[in-house]
A and B are shown apart, each in its own frame.
Chain A
Amino acid sequence: MDLTKVDKILTNHKNDKAMLVAILQDVQDEFRYLPKEVLNHISKSLNIPLPEIYDVSTFYKAFSLKPRGKHICSICMGTACHVRGAPVILETAKTHLKIEPGQNTPNMQYTLNTVNCVGACAVGPVIQVDGSLYGNLTSMKTIQLLKKFEKD
């Protein structure tokens, strides 16, 4: 594991304990999750007890302690998307990627998630891939969308 990258993140934040959340966000951007070695390293470098870092890391849903795929695919299951067919979209994605929500594809290309409303109800059903929204989905469009990210 390349800890020099972590040191750089720490310097960017002036080794400031109060910046812990921002530091963890940068770490997650770099590694796509929060690796154990990195949390240990931050604990030693900033002199924050590991349990406190672990508390923050498990408190926010945005952080993941498990490795995640290259693309995060979140299917909206909010009320509006639900009535517009989100369960079908979810089934399609599950069958296509052959994984359950919360899991990664074996080649680590995808992580499948469900979320409850991304605030784009007007164009539901909606999928969010790496932060970008794709709306008015059908099963066909879902498969096309997932194929698009399979290669890169």
Chain B
Amino acid sequence: MYKVKIDGIETEVNPGTTILSVANQEFVEIPTLCYNENVEPRGACRMCTVEVEVWGRKRLVTACNYPIQADIVIDTQSERVKKLRRLILEVLLARTPDSPRIKELAEKYGVKQPRFNLEKTHDNCIVCGLCVQACKDIVGVSAIGLSERGIFRKPITPYEESSHTCIGCGSCVYICPTDAISMVDKDGKRYFERWKTEFKLVGCESCGTHFATDVQIEYFKKVMGKDDPSLHFCPNCLVLKETKK
């Protein structure tokens, strides 16, 4: 066990616990963007940066993927942290001025007009790679990836063509911290603008509501190794059926 002091609160943790999980446990707020508890943290967005003191040395680290390996003092509100947080938000705001999430964070931490004047892209993507990782680690299809480098880096399907491996589940849409991926369900079809991919929607056998894509259902059958009622009915009707039993 290591001694931890976070914003004055003292506690003890097991080796390897991340700063972010200690913070959550102690109700200390640390802003995050690219972190999601269901995938390995990658430290891509730097939003969660905090100041730590280990063995008498102070440094800035990302809370989401910093494993505690010694007694540690953590400061989430130091001047250095606040300054860096503002700089990160300034950069993000310059890049994605339309994103409600970034605007909200910027306002909260006192960032108004960014000094940087970038060409407007109307793209809310902050290139955190969370969608790519979710597609690989949660869904298990790896239909999307990052491409290019530097300012051109972005998540795409290979060759920016309609994907043959995507199952149209929409996990990327739900996990994206800045709502940068659009998914439109219309006329029995589901379309992902960013992935240039379209799917046929399947209706619930009881109420008819569209609840999944045909490819998604086939994929689930394969993964489960069998057919299952959950692949025929929408979540609502499924609950109704269960309770009637």
Determine whether the beta carbon of A50 is less than 8 Å from that of B158.
Answer: yes
Please, which residue of chain B has its CB at the minimum distance from the CB of A39? B158
Cβ contact of B144, chosen from A36, A39, A51, A53, cutoff 8 A: A51
Q: Is A2 an interface residue (CB 8 A)?
A: no
CA of A59 to CA of B157 in the docked complex: distance in angstroms?
Answer: 15
Q: Scan residues 139-160 of chain B and give those whose CB is less than 8 A from a CB of chain A.
A: 142-149, 156-159
Determine whether the beta carbon of A58 is less than 8 Å from that of B132.
Answer: no
Determine whether the beta carbon of A58 is less than 8 Å from that of B144.
Answer: no
CA of A49 to CA of B132 in the docked complex: distance in angstroms?
Answer: 11
Question: Size of chain A's interface in residues, with CB distance under 8 A?
Answer: 11
Q: B142, B156, B158, B159: which has the most chain A beta carbons within 10 Å? A: B158
Question: Do most interface residues of chain A lie in helix, strand or loop, or is the interface mixed?
Answer: helix
Determine whether the beta carbon of B159 is less than 8 Å from that of A51.
Answer: no
Determine whether the beta carbon of A54 is less than 8 Å from that of B142.
Answer: no
Q: Is B103 an interface residue (CB 8 A)?
A: no
Q: Which residues of B contact A54 (CB under 8 A)?
A: 145, 147, 156, 158-159
CA of A51 to CA of B172 in the docked complex: distance in angstroms?
Answer: 15
Q: Is B136 an interface residue (CB 8 A)?
A: yes
CA of A53 to CA of B148 in the docked complex: distance in angstroms?
Answer: 12
A residues with CB within 8 A of B:
36, 39, 49-55, 58-59
Apart from A54-B156, A58-B148, list 14 A-B contacts with CB within 8 A. A39-B158, A49-B136, A49-B142, A50-B142, A50-B145, A50-B158, A51-B143, A51-B156, A51-B158, A54-B145, A54-B147, A54-B158, A55-B146, A55-B147
Q: List 27 A-B contacts (CB under 8 A).
A: A36-B159, A49-B136, A49-B142, A49-B143, A49-B165, A50-B142, A50-B145, A50-B165, A51-B142, A51-B143, A51-B144, A51-B145, A51-B146, A51-B156, A51-B158, A52-B142, A52-B145, A53-B158, A54-B145, A54-B147, A54-B159, A55-B145, A55-B146, A55-B147, A58-B149, A59-B147, A59-B149
Report, nearest first, the 7 A-B pairs whose CB atoms are least far apart: A51-B145, A49-B142, A54-B158, A58-B147, A55-B145, A50-B158, A58-B148
